[in-house]
Amino acid sequence: MNLIFFTVFAVCACFVNGQSNPCTPPGGGRGDCVSVYNCPVLLELINKKDRTTQDLELLKRSQCGYEGSAPAVCCPKKQPQPQPEGNCYTPEGNVGQCISLYSCAHLANMLKPPVPPENIAYVQKSKCEGSEQYSVCCGPKPDRTQQTTVIPSGNCNALMNANPPDPRTECCGVDSRVGNKIVGGNATTVDQYPWLVMIEYVQGTMTKLLCGGVLISGKYVLTAGHCVAGQVLTIGTPKRVRLGEYDISHEGPDCATVEAGGEDCTDGVTRILIEKIIPHPQYNPVSSLKRNDIALLRLKEAAPFTDFIRPICLPTKDLTAPENVPTNFTLFAAGWGAVSDRKSYSNVKLHVELPYVNPDKCQPVYSFPGRSVPLWKAQLCAGGVTGKDSCKGDSGGPLMYENGRTYEVIGIVSFGPVPCGMEGVPGVYSKVYEYLDWIKNTIVP
């Protein structure tokens, strides 16, 4: 932070004591007095290279105290924008209209007493970000008398739109391998984890592979915020995603021996342009807290559904909640990350088995000088086993849980120890369950 920034805020002698208080921004409307690091619109102004006197005056007029040692500003509240007709999805994946709950007769009727728990759950899943306090995605009236039909894999292409597939369709989280056991640190089979994505960055005439991601629908990839904002952009700009990859050392189909004997070969790589980059609005690339380190990439065209390209399922519940933690809670990370500190990536897709680490055991590890990061509810820890870890090059990739037949993405690789794979030092992941509402409200048809 430069001298001008501190000079602008030095005139204030009041404090906000770490709490957000209502205030009125210089331009009018409503705002909250918060740390400048939690106000992206003003933080962007501070980081602006060619600030004008008007910019400095706005910053000065926005000051409202301090939060600890950080200057506080009156951050304008973002007003919810009404969603036009046809840009939300119902729980079944049908296109609907984001309107008031009371204007959607069949959803309103579901809440007439006595109200079954499944009706409450359905209406909650129908929430959308509209202009009304209780906005829902109102589409075709659901047939509540029938269970969701499991769609055969051959018909899953019909669900490769923007909306993440319902896990009950088995059109997400199911790969085409049979009988393969995962062993930490080993190469995967060519058709394992078909939702893994590599992001191609372009700088001049150079194409670089710096981060991974995970396909969650036909049109969206989930990755880390630090893969699309901040320092990474000085190395290259995210331009394309690479799907169906196995061995990055050559182009064309990749072949590998399978357990049943013989060879299985991929279809070759599919590259799709990135249409829009959407970091979480509260992700701050210069903050040492590393919170909200998550982002979405909207693809310019829909990905196909094949043996080698498929979406993973979003989590169906918070597996880290004490009442939900599975016995022998084992997770899996996969990608093309480093296999040692001397190599930036692996040529072939790798995977590793990692134990879940409770926050009470993880936080002390990140409380030492030089590695002091107060963890919060939207982060989870896994690993801490010598030689087993997600590593550089895996950033943005998935931390997965095998829930019966399907895999769910419960974490996104955020940060960890240097060097990777240190005994007793788990890696830290953005907890996807905490971002389900943001993901749902951000995705558009």
Cα dihedral across residues 317, 318, 324, 329: positive or negative: positive
Residue 202 CA: distances (Å) to CA of 77, 273, 275, 367: 35, 12, 15, 37
Residue of 175, 191, 226, 389 with catalytic role: 226
Burial 405-444 (b: 16+ CB within 10 A, else e): ebbbbbbbbbbbbeebbbeebbbbbbbbbbbeebbbbbbb
Cβ–Cβ contacts within 10 Å for residue 56, how many?
16
351 classed as catalytic: no
**Phi, psi for residue 158 in degrees, rounded to 5:** -65, -20
Token couple for 227: 């893969």
Q: Which residue has the tokens 């399907």?
A: 406
Q: Which sign, positive or negative, has the C-alpha torsion 436, 434, 298, 210? A: negative
Taking the C-alpha atoms of residue 388 and residue 371, their distance in angstroms, rounded to an integer, is 20
Q: Identify whether the C-beta of residue 84 lies closer than 8 Å to the C-beta of residue 99.
A: no
What is the per-residue burial (b if ≥16 Cβ within 10 Å, else e) of 364-377? Answer: ebbeeeeeebebee
Bin 55: left if φ > 0, else alpha if -120 < ψ < 50, else beta: alpha
Eight-class DSSP state of 340 = B
Q: How far apart are CA 389 and CA 387, in angstroms?
A: 7
Using CB atoms within 10 Å of the CB of residue 116, give its burial: 0 to 12 exposed, 13 to 18 middle, 19+ buried.
exposed
CB 240 within 8 A of CB 272: yes
- Look up 293 and say whether it is catalytic: yes
Picking from 100, 81, 84, 83, the residue whose alpha carbon sits closest to that of residue 138 is 100
Catalytic site residue from 126, 217, 395, 414: 395
| Helix residue ranges per DSSP H, 114-156 | 117-125
395 carries an active-site annotation: yes
Q: For CA atoms 56, 58, 60, 65, give the dihedral sign.
A: negative
Only one residue has tokens 């910053």, namely 59
Which residues are known catalytic residues?
226, 293, 395
